[in-house]
Amino acid sequence: MSLSFEGRVVLVTGAGGGLGREYALAFAERGASVIVNDLGTDTKGGGKSSAAADKVVEEIRAKGGKAVANYDSVEDGEKLIQTALDAFGRIDVVVNNAGILRDRSFARTSDLDWDLIQRIHLRGSFLVTRAAWNHMKNQKFGRIIMTASAAGIYGNFGQANYSAAKLGMLGLANTLAIEGRKYNVHCNTIAPVAGSRLTETVMPPDLVASLKPEYVAPLVLWLCHEQCQENGGLFEVGAGWIGKLRWERSQGQIVRKKNKSMTPEAVRDQWDKICDFTDATKPATVQESLQSMVSVLSRMESEDQVGANSTAAAASPASASGINPSMAVGQKLPPTTFSFTHTQCILYALGVGMSTKDPDHLRFLYEGSPDFSCLPTFGVIPSQAAMMEGGLSSVPGLNIDFTQVLHGEQYLELYKPLPTSGKLTSEATIADVLDKGSGAVILLDVHTYSGGELVCYNQFSVFVVGAGGFGGKRTSEKAKASVPPPKRAPDAVVIDSTTRDQAALYRLSGDWNPLHIDPSFAAMGGFKAPILHGLCSFGFAARHVLKQFANNDPSRFKAIKVRFVKPVMPGQSLQTEMWKEGNRIHIQCKVKETDAVVLAGAYVDLHGASEASPENLTQGGGLQSELVFAEIGRRIKDLGSELVKKVNAVFGWEITKDGKTAAQWTIDLKNGSGSLHKGPYSGKADVTFTVSDEDFMEVVQGKVNPQKAFFSGKLKVRGNIMLSQKLEVILKDYAKL
């Protein structure tokens, strides 16, 4: 499908010539209404004329396009946006392109040379973009382009003023990309090369003629299209070629010693290492950038215990074993995407032993079932791509022998029932690295999103045989711990046989390790025959619990944890023993034929049957807001103490339906570790909100902003109104409920 801009309103600054003109023509040709802005100056910013903009508007109209001219300087940002609103009623795209040059060697750069360049490029882009910003935010769509330059990225003789302004625009774009993200307002930066009046003085004429602006415009159009999800990117573009840039950072070197002052001599002595780009990292956020520095602090703290005496890295036994936690922890693996349809859900269900023999398995095996669902433990499948694709081997500080890697433990938590088709994106982070003596344990946290919304969280615990002894810590507060079962006979036992081809079937869900199919590969690993995937037994055990204690209702499933103890051979029978303790079902899985425990310390957490699950509520026709409160309740359970510290207030809610109070809720983030209950607060709530069920949903989903709801009288607030700002902590991320 071709990319259309029908219905979109696009402002291109400096569109009277060169690149800007080309963008304006291209947008108009694809249906956009275009504001052709140009002050009509000479290349140094002198003079003024309406001719340049008028000519381009005429060109567009002659071809049947929609355009109006604006002759203001970008320093009058508001006026440019006003022209868009007056002529077309909205603003969707801003291409900051206007520019001039005042090249001088640095020593000869006057105040005016400096100021004019900053004013037109950097300040002008700021003013125009700020004027458009709230319109874009409110309509939940906006695309912004900043025009930087190779001179800014690399420096260029005689362009100190211009380089500074151009890279300033990149800094501006970096932050706008972050602030705009949740409103679907994206900002990207281009560094173009094209023949124009700006370049004709520095390039030979044939180059000016062949580097056509039309080789740049398609990138700008793509970045500004609603289909494009790129945000915060920097691109070089010219001659029909486009490339993306990012920052790279050397592994670096710690140059200070604990309890000693840091010296310039130590910096000098480590200079080569500081500047060595071998195994460079690519931090993409301030958080990533800081994280590694903060981990230096904790590493230096623990140095005493390992008796380091020279520079930290040199002294660390880690360098010998190839594991260096301070480098590895916090590293992100490249994100992975996973697209699936009902086929994968069904294949997975068969892979973990579901069968049409059992009539209530049909809801997982037949896409035509009225309640067709995906098994909850399918949640491990999209997330494992990060591991399967060898992501771990690219992590600096994890130089390990991959033939020695065992899957030790697994934790999976769902935040909502899994969809039966769609596209999921997973982001994996090294959460921690532990030293168990005989080996190292790598904790890999993987968050999986569907359209920006968190669907599930996995923690892979990977044991690397022989990689221990690097002097790291043994335990981590980040680890999801296994829990032994109660010391009584199990409340329920289910026995289920795997088939000879169980592993051959399970692997089709995406775990292609030959260990599970290839006899000679299995023999190299010391096994008599290919073994069943640990995650396959995990799937068996989870569905036994789901059937036994949750009537096969996937929305009751919350989380599962298992520790893999021994392998299972395809064809053996699995015996799942279960103990119910409230909403937690402890499990232990054995091979029936040998009585060997294969899954230990395991449990499944269920949502209580009466607990509000999104499905029950929507089907039950209750208030829509109940959904949100149910979710808030879950979050308070998980994070209560932290929220109490942050918020320290009691919020009362009165939800109305058809003008009458239909429900009352209390969110107590002041007492104990926080709580949610239905009904009014026994004491005096710090602030009480009254809002209709519909308006509540609009606000929570971000369709109406709370201030607007307040000023229009839809949201009534009693008590300490300032506290409503803290609601953000509990309400954010519920936007897409």
Active site residues: 162
Do residues 555 and 539 make contact, with C-beta atoms less than 8 angstroms apart? no
| Cβ count near 451 (within 10 Å) | 11
> Which stretch, 109-117, 191-199, 375-383, 416-424, contacts ligand NAI (CB under 6 A)?
191-199
| Cβ count near 296 (within 10 Å) | 16
Q: Which of 9, 10, 20, 117 binds ligand NAI (CB under 6 A)?
A: 20
Cα–Cα distance for residue pair 705/240, rounded to 1 Å:
43
Interface with ligand NAI, residue 631, by CB under 6 A: no
> Which stretch, 17-25, 313-321, 400-408, 441-449, contacts ligand NAI (CB under 6 A)?
17-25
Q: Please report, as residue ranges, which positions from 279 to 338 form the binding site for ligand NAI (by CB under 6 A).
A: none
Q: Which of 63, 87, 117, 84 is nearest to 10 (CA)?
A: 84
Name which of 219 and 352 has its Cβ closer to ligand NAI: 219
SS3 per residue for 41-103:
CCCCCCCCCCHHHHHHHHHHHHCCCEEEEECCCHHHHHHHHHHHHHHHCCCCEEEECCCCCCC
> Can you name the residues that pair with 449 across neighbouring β-strands?
425, 454
Q: Please report, as residue ranges, which positions from 23 to 52 form the binding site for ligand NAI (by CB under 6 A).
A: 37-41, 43, 45, 52
Structure tokens at 377: 């433990």
How would you classify the pairing of strands 33-37 and 439-450?
unpaired
Name which of 41 and 498 has its Cβ closer to ligand NAI: 41
Taking the complex as a whole, how short is the minimal distance between the CB of residue 148 and ligand NAI, in angstroms? Answer: 7
Name which of 80 and 442 has its Cβ closer to ligand NAI: 80
Interface with ligand NAI, residue 398, by CB under 6 A: no
Q: What are phi and psi of 438, to 5 degrees?
A: -70, -15
Exposed (0-12), middle (13-18) or buried (19+): which is 414, by Cβ within 10 Å?
buried
Interface with ligand NAI, residue 77, by CB under 6 A: no
> Which stretch, 14-22, 473-481, 627-635, 691-699, contacts ligand NAI (CB under 6 A)?
14-22
Taking the complex as a whole, how short is the minimal distance between the CB of residue 22 and ligand NAI, in angstroms? Answer: 8
Name which of 120 and 456 has its Cβ closer to ligand NAI: 120
Q: Which of 197, 637, 703, 716 binds ligand NAI (CB under 6 A)?
A: 197
Q: Which of 24, 98, 323, 591 binds ligand NAI (CB under 6 A)?
A: 98
Structure tokens at 699: 């606000």
Q: Which of 296, 336, 174 is nearest to 247 (CA)?
A: 174
Which distant-in-sequence residues (6+ apart) come within 8 Å of 277 by Cβ? 248, 250
Interface with ligand NAI, residue 249, by CB under 6 A: no
- With the C-alpha atoms ordered 212, 218, 219, 221, is the resulting torsion angle positive or negative? positive
Name which of 120 and 636 has its Cβ closer to ligand NAI: 120
Interface with ligand NAI, residue 13, by CB under 6 A: yes
How would you classify the pairing of strands 453-465 and 405-414?
antiparallel
| Cβ count near 151 (within 10 Å) | 21
Q: Which of 147, 163, 270, 666 binds ligand NAI (CB under 6 A)?
A: 147
Taking the complex as a whole, how short is the minimal distance between the CB of residue 52 and ligand NAI, in angstroms? Answer: 5
How many residues touch ligand NAI (CB under 6 A)? 32
Cα–Cα distance for residue pair 104/692, rounded to 1 Å:
63
Which distant-in-sequence residues (6+ apart) come within 8 Å of 46 by Cβ? none
Taking the complex as a whole, how short is the minimal distance between the CB of residue 58 and ligand NAI, in angstroms? Answer: 15
Give me the 157-176 binding string for ligand NAI, x by CB under 6 A, dash otherwise. Answer: --------------------
Structure tokens at 114: 């400096």
Name which of 73 and 692 has its Cβ closer to ligand NAI: 73
Q: Which of 9, 12, 73, 345 binds ligand NAI (CB under 6 A)?
A: 73
Name which of 37 and 461 has its Cβ closer to ligand NAI: 37
Name which of 27 and 665 has its Cβ closer to ligand NAI: 27
Interface with ligand NAI, residue 515, by CB under 6 A: no
Name which of 52 and 667 has its Cβ closer to ligand NAI: 52
Cα–Cα distance for residue pair 299/311, rounded to 1 Å:
12
Interface with ligand NAI, residue 232, by CB under 6 A: no
Q: Please report, as residue ranges, which positions from 421 to 460 form the binding site for ligand NAI (by CB under 6 A).
A: none
Structure tokens at 274: 């500081």
Structure tokens at 553: 């209702």
Q: Which of 16, 65, 376, 567 binds ligand NAI (CB under 6 A)?
A: 16
Interface with ligand NAI, residue 128, by CB under 6 A: no
SS3 per residue for 314-337:
HHCCHHHHCECHHHHCCCECCCEE
How would you classify the pairing of strands 33-37 and 66-70?
parallel
Q: Which of 93, 194, 430, 723 binds ligand NAI (CB under 6 A)?
A: 194
Taking the complex as a whole, how short is the minimal distance between the CB of residue 94 and ligand NAI, in angstroms? Answer: 13
Type of residue numbered 152: G
> Which stretch, 189-197, 240-248, 337-345, 509-517, contacts ligand NAI (CB under 6 A)?
189-197
Output the CA angle 579-583-585, nearest 5 degrees.
Answer: 25
| Cβ count near 58 (within 10 Å) | 13
Q: Report the SS3 class of residue 449.
A: strand
Taking the complex as a whole, how short is the minimal distance between the CB of residue 198 and ligand NAI, in angstroms? Answer: 4
Interface with ligand NAI, residue 144, by CB under 6 A: no
Contacting positions for ligand NAI (CB under 6 A): 13-14, 16-20, 37-41, 43, 45, 52, 73-74, 97-100, 120, 124, 147, 149, 192-194, 196-199
